[in-house]
Structure 1
């Protein structure tokens, strides 16, 4: 971690100054005799990847943006910490330095492990994406994105826990109510449009009656950090398709696992279980993780005595647009709040950031028009664009999740697929959604064609 100064418990919106330290922008919030008003052009609820990307692009469009975060930075989040080239591209578009010198650990591709069979696949060389992936912990990853939003002109207020939207007389969202700081002081913030980037909880969407869809994929993931000199600098992200325990190696455990080297002596190790599995909701996921790790080589260090961050942590993975509509009555959903995790591989950060960029474009266009039907017509095009961009691909992901939930299908895929490198390179492109939009090879054309003809999710 870089050293920094950060003082942000708030009694009211305060003046924000910036201080350069160790090549980072530190935010120091100090009391002001002329505090910033509690209104804005747009309010963004949540400063995770979706919220900070939204705020960055909205501010870049010249809008006054309030970015409200319930915690303070740095702060931990449950995540695998592994980023594919799709996420790398989104970071670069926000102007973030992804070099090793800036604290990022680069990787060359994905190693797929199933029993005694392993296959290392380099990230594809494409015109549209960089040819490397990254790892970085969420402890300061989210703070980097929030700093970029601030640098673009967004006003970041931390320790502001948004509790509910507020509505105008027409029933349209026109702001939020919140409690601020440890003292939980009430506050109200107003804006003609609110962006919901509040993650899996989707508190804002629920207040408008936008419930999650039970016919879409859902996952649960748990993870822990371990000290592992043997694995921390692995050049590949590692995905385990078959999990077994040392106590009963002949029985397959449910779910899939990962091992991502962080380059600092630690690894992020975790597993996920999808709701297409019969074990979903019926399993002690934390015990499942330790059972699997008991079968890994002892020199890897993945035992309780080598854990590096305390208890095993878990989170939900809302997939395939499992919460719709993505716009309703002045509220725009981005990232996990709209169920935008990739069903194929559980990646959420890329889609959180991309949806934030798309949302910002439509919100900026809408606010350039007078309030009323013309503005609403623009905002209603946001979910249409999301479906065009991701809908067909997510629909294929829904089918994929159902198929691999069948143990027989999963066994056939792992036993036979890993022996065909060309097939697995196609699978890697499909699962990571890495294709060139124009041109590309035969694999790209096939995947892009299937995404276009598949019914939108």
Structure 2
């Protein structure tokens, strides 16, 4: 039986980030994951500038090491396709030079990116990392938590539990009370293709807002070796209300859409279409309680407009490490003290999540969405705002300024 002050469930981006920050601060922790790495994770696979910023906070070397990996491609921006077909190209960096600039984003399969982080975890003796350990049940103790396997055998005890075991987390639902709410949950599908025509030479990721598929969207993200991650996402509430078969709609769009069908005519699907659910950050939920913190998808922190979750998981992992270290150092793992973690995470992400919720609602009004897309082409403030949602251009200060909204609506600098 193992005892640690801090135990982390899940070695994805949130859990791995927390463990690495704890290790750098000299704190030991136990990191458990039911999988054996490398393992697949259903995702869009895009790594935004915010991911690179969080990697840099772990180690200055990590962004360069990622950029040198053959398992990724550098991405220089986003192509938004409005319902009227208007393409809005948003470079991550205006007037970028691929020969001299560092890429502001990347695309890499989660199989590879999560393993990239896990390999960094393995380098730190302060992290007791154990794979293929399935924590089936948790139980409160007077001073922390007990962890049990399916057979009822005790695996470990800890004073503070960092829960980073994903969107399907039993702990988040049963202990923390994060019920699945269809209005704050996205259903998604992902598959891989090769030989997709017309991918951006600068590896811009594509988000297609197709009129008869709104309020859902379709994405095409370029990958190494000529492959692409292709998928669709839509609010679970809409899927249920309209009885939408997402797999059927994905096939129909790729076969019949006037722009996409020619690009997929010679493409080949690689493997199955796999489904997943995303608990969205469009509703503010508690992220902590008695001797526990929720990280990433387990904390329902996914961006409600873009579906991005990796950077938000890493942000929450960084703050979780800080407040976990404070909690065990001061011997205060009370709900009142751990609320500091909630405040830190929402101070960083809250206003961006609210802005994304507004943009998500915009998908219900195709004509208004078209106006925004048309205006953004001639409105540097709006174009920059769309870009900043995927970058680490901190929006918080601008979102507090009334003149920002005037420029957003009416243009100007």
TM-score range, shorter chain: 0.7 to 0.9
Corresponding residue for residue 396 of structure 1: 355
Helix, strand or coil at the partner of 1:162: coil
Aligned to 2:263: 300
Contact 2:92–2:391 (Cα < 8 Å) also in 1: no
Q: Give the direction of change, closer, same or farther, for the CA distance of 1:50–1:101 in structure 2 (3 Å limit).
A: closer
In structure 2, the residue matched to 1:358 is 319
Corresponding residue to 1:409 among 336, 344, 368: 368
Aligned to 1:200: 167
Aligned partner (choices 102, 121, 136) of residue 149 of structure 1: 121
How does 1:339-354 map onto structure 2 within 5 Å? 339-354=300-315
Q: Which residue of 1 aligns with 2:20?
A: 56
Aligned match of 2:91: 122
Equivalent residue in structure 1 for 2:341, among 382, 403, 427: 382
Q: 1:58, 1:364 within 8 Å by CA — same for their partners in 2? A: yes
2:136 maps to 1:159: no
* Counterpart residue number, 1:225: 192
Distance (whole Å) between structure 2 residues aligned to residue 323 and residue 173 of structure 1: 25
Q: Is 1:79 equivalent to 2:43 in the alignment?
A: yes
1:112 — aligned with what?
Answer: 80
Cα gap change, 1:272 to 1:100, in 2 (>3 Å): same
Question: 2:398 corresponds to which residue?
Answer: 446
> Aligned pair in 2 of structure 1 residues 390, 242: CA closer, same or farther (>3 Å)?
closer
In structure 1, what is the equivalent of residue 112 of structure 2? 140
Kept after mapping to 2: 8 A contact 1:197/1:337:
yes
Check conservation: 2:287, 2:299, Cα contact below 8 A: yes
**Change beyond 3 A, Cα 1:367–1:272:** same
- Conserved? CA contact 1:217–1:398, under 8 Å: no
Q: Which runs of 5+ in 1 are unaligned?
A: 1-36, 245-250, 438-443
Q: In structure 1, the residue corresponding to 2:162 is in which secondary structure?
A: strand
State the 1:231 CA deviation.
4.7
Alpha-carbon distance, 1:272 to partner = 1.2
Cα gap change, 1:446 to 1:352, in 2 (>3 Å): same
Query: What do residues 346-375 of structure 1 show as CA deviations (whole Å, max 9, x unaligned)?
Result: 1100000110000100000111113576xx
Comparing 194-203 with 222-231, greater Cα deviation is found at 222-231
The alpha-carbon deviation at position 395 of structure 1 amounts to: 2.4
Structure 1 position 47 matched with structure 2 position 6: no
> Which of structure 1's runs of 4+ aligned residues deviate more than 4 A?
251-254, 275-281, 296-299
Inter-partner Cα distance in structure 2 for 1:386 and 1:353 = 11
Contact 1:319/1:342 (8 A) holds in 2: yes
CA distance in 2, matches of 1:224, 1:371: 45
Q: Greater relative contact order (Cα 8 A, min sep 6): structure 1 or 2? A: 2
TM superposition shift of 1:79:
0.7
Residue pair 1:318, 1:340 contacting (<8 A) in 2 also: yes
Contact 2:282/2:304, CA 8 A, preserved across alignment = no
Q: Which moved more, 1:269-278 or 1:50-59?
A: 269-278
C-alpha distance in 1, partners of 2:249/2:139? 42
> Structure 1 residues 167 and 78, CA, compared in 2 at 3 Å: closer, same or farther?
same
Partner of 2:98: none
TM-score, length of structure 2 as denominator length:
0.84
The runs of 5 or more residues in structure 2 that have no matched partner are 96-100, 406-413
How many pairs are equivalent? 391
Check the 8 A contact 1:43/1:175 in 2, yes or no. no
Contact 1:232 1:266 in 2 (8 A): no
* Corresponding residue to 2:248 among 287, 290, 297: 287
